[in-house]
A and B are shown apart, each in its own frame.
Chain A
Amino acid sequence: MVKSKSAYSIPTKKGKLDTHIFVVWVDNEAGVLARVVGLFSGRGYNIESLAVAEVDAKKNISRITIVTTGTPQVIDQIKLQLKKLVPVHKVANFKREDKKVIFKEMALLKVVAPKKNIDKCLKSCNKFNPVIIDKTKKSIVIQITALRREIDKMNLKLKPLGLISTSRTGAIAMTRGAEIFN
């Protein structure tokens, strides 16, 4: 720690950091995302990725998926603090390693290259449900869905082949089988 005269106490030993995915059901109203995100920044939690959209237009419910890291104690606090927000209905969280939960990210990849390279790109995307969204003689836009680290890898792999632009969503999550989050 920097020798600061205004520190309050010695920081206790940091525990092991886990990556958790939080799924938060909120009223879709003005400022609700700011409340959730402000809670994270205000209390010093970090956000690795964020995905949010309305999922129930009738009930006006949005679903926010946040990937974050923290010690078990911090993860606990995040959950309890989120639950205190008035527009929050429900909070679920699980470890990234949890086998019962699927989580996916989508990415759009634009490659500008000769046909030979474009074909190579498409081929290496094969594992990740590639969809060709736009194609010209010189370019292609491929949509893939995969895990974060897989998209990271694809990014590196396609760069030399002419990848010029990547746009990706935050992770979203769903339980396997008949169960739902609660």
Chain B
Amino acid sequence: MPKLLTGAEIVFKCLEDQDVEYIFGYPGGAVLPIYDELKNHETVKHILVRHEQGAGHAAEGYARSSGKPGVVLVTSGPGATNVVTALTDAYMDSVPLVCISGQVPTHLIGTDAFQECDTTGITRPCTKHNWLVKDIKDLSRVIHEAFYVSTTGRPGPVLIDIPKDIQFAKTSYSKFKKEKKLNGKINNKFSQSEIEELINLISKAKKPVVYTGGGVINSGPKASESLREFVRMIGFPITSTLQGLGAFPGDDNQFIGMLGMHGTYEANNAMHDCDLLINIGARFDDRITGKIDEFSPKSKKVHIDIDPSSINKIIKVDLAIVGDVNEVLRATIKKINKKQNGLKTSNKQKISKWWEQIQKWRTKNSLGFINSDKTIKPQHAVKRLYELTKNQDTFITTEVGQHQMWAAQHYKFNKPNRWMTSGGLGTMGYGLPAAVGVQIAHPDKLVIDIAGEASVLMTIQEMSTAVQYNLPIKIFILNNQYMGMVRQWQELLHEKNYSESYSEALPDFVKLAEAYGCKGIKANNPNELDEKIREMINHTGPVIFDCQVDPNENCFPMIPSGKPHNQMILGPNDQEDNRITGKGKSLV
């Protein structure tokens, strides 16, 4: 007779079998048996957060920066509901998370017991799949299946709800073996003829553009290498979505910047005027496409994505290749190499005019801003931060808002998995806990959360976590005392009615840092900025950096709502003759 294990022991057995090193969690009544078992498993380390949302975002940061699934452990009721934001965030941005939640004992389910909620019901729309384990015999199978579902295909969050009596119940544990495919949910069956067709389109194109997204990052570091090889081989200009930054080097000449609502002039115009658009691992998000009817009107469109439901969802494409980005790119590179039919050289000639056009657009210098020697311009702060950190392998997380867009525009990423930001859901308060998770995964690397003062206050309690584990994260706050993006829209679209976007009372961030037991630094003017940034980088513990920036700065360029890509508002100089009028106002 094999040894009988409790549910709690099985949970850890499974985590060990899945090579889980860290779990992010918060204890409570319904998960106490699992917490009780924690001490017996040295290889699994628990990071105690201060709020379950923080656990979720930290696990996201961990997952995105390491490529491994993030694991979250929370209790029933409020523990589970608090993690919903993070699960939804992970769902929107395709981040692999495995969330284990405690539940009241099975006989109490449905009785409105203390700290009971319908966790699987609540999380059904924000997970790839979830399970309520009502029989101890199912537990190990479910946990392994959960890891499988979360990490394969298009990754995403899953949740396993384990009632307390199941955590106590005993059964035998059978070693995990790779199971059969789940209903064939993995889609990686692209055909050679599709690759042929892609190469055919590539060789004919005169005005091509490659548009890449988070799918390249999710496909693994190899996919970024393949992408670089592929793009250099064909010589096309390449733009990236917010999530795809880092897949292709940000300082490379072929890279024309981020596209979309706050993308560069050259990237958005290239999207609009191109005759071939190759979408690699992106999903035609509404912040990217602008007005659908006038989106890239003259182009043949190719879409490479692992999720078949992404194809033709927003934009009809001419060629769809369903598969893993790396494998599709490898197959394409192989075929181009094999052919050697002069594609490489002749194609580059064909598109030289196109490159000339792009250079012309580049001269607009759409990310330009008017710097000041009196107040710190937020763009300037990000640029200095980049210059002073680019010599080391730096990981950047952000919150959501103007600072996020400035970070995306002015910080250049050269490697994948170095940029963690909430793009799909746009969760303010993401960056600080995400930085905690990133630092856990990369203890010796520099991890900076480029934050806004409004966002960071939503999850500021996680500083306490950072201090507890001595995680030297740097919280670089671009403090403009406004919810900057809200203020910007109110200025441009709502007659400067700054309704509730100004925070009349803000904490003294330096004192706040000290209260948490970490270092606080404040920069008031451009002259002291560099020195203070260096001080932040050189400090060995966590830092909150209060960077007092110009409160009235707006984030440009910007595609006004209801407008296509080729009608952007550029910086302050260009603004006067491009007011958003009537109809556009209602469309942001």
A residues within 8 Å of B by Cβ?
Answer: 3-10, 12, 30-31, 34-35, 38, 42, 73, 76-77, 80-81, 83-89
Contact = CB atoms under 8 A, between A and B. Distances in A.
A80 B128 CA distance: 14
A86 B120 contact: no
B587 interface: yes
14 contacts: A3-B586, A5-B585, A8-B286, A8-B561, A8-B588, A9-B286, A38-B124, A73-B312, A73-B313, A76-B312, A81-B309, A83-B309, A84-B185, A86-B129
A81 B128 CA distance: 11
A81 to B, nearest CB: 5
A2 to B, nearest CB: 9
- The list of the 10 closest CB pairs from A to B, nearest first, reads A80-B309, A86-B129, A42-B125, A80-B308, A3-B586, A81-B309, A8-B286, A89-B183, A12-B292, A5-B586
B333 interface: no
B183 A7 contact: no
A30 B132 CA distance: 9
A99 to B, nearest CB: 27
Nearest to A29: B131
A34 B124 contact: yes
Contact of A31 (B124, B493, B586): B124
A9 B561 contact: yes
Interface of B: 120-121, 124-125, 128-129, 132, 134, 149, 182-183, 185, 286, 290-293, 307-309, 311-313, 316, 493-494, 561-562, 585-588
Contacts of B585: 5
Given A86-B183, A89-B183, A10 B493 contact: no
A82 to B, nearest CB: 9
A80 B183 CA distance: 14
A85 B290 CA distance: 30
A83 B586 contact: no
Given A10-B291, A34-B124, 10 more contacts: A5-B494, A8-B286, A8-B561, A10-B293, A30-B132, A38-B125, A80-B311, A84-B307, A86-B129, A87-B183
B132 A9 contact: no
A73 to B, nearest CB: 7
By secondary structure, the B interface counts as loop
A8 B587 contact: yes
Contacts of A85: 129
A34 B121 contact: yes
B494 to A, nearest CB: 7
A88 B120 CA distance: 18
Contacts of A38: 124-125
A35 B258 CA distance: 36
Contacts of B308: 80, 83
A86 B313 contact: no
Contacts of A86: 128-129, 149, 182-183, 185
Contact of B309 (A3, A31, A42, A84): A84
A12 B124 contact: no
B496 to A, nearest CB: 15
Contacts of B182: 86
A84 B208 CA distance: 32
A53 B314 CA distance: 34
A85 to B, nearest CB: 8
Contacts of A76: 312
Given A31-B124, A86-B149, A10 B562 contact: yes
A114 B290 CA distance: 67
A78 to B, nearest CB: 10
Given A12-B293, A73-B312, A86-B149, A5 B125 contact: no
Nearest to B145: A86
Nearest to B154: A84
Contacts of A10: 291, 293, 562, 587
Which residue, A31, A38, A42, A88, has most C-beta atoms of chain B within 10 A?
A31
A85 B182 CA distance: 10
Nearest to A31: B120
Contacts of B286: 8-9
Given A34-B121, A77-B313, A88 B183 contact: yes
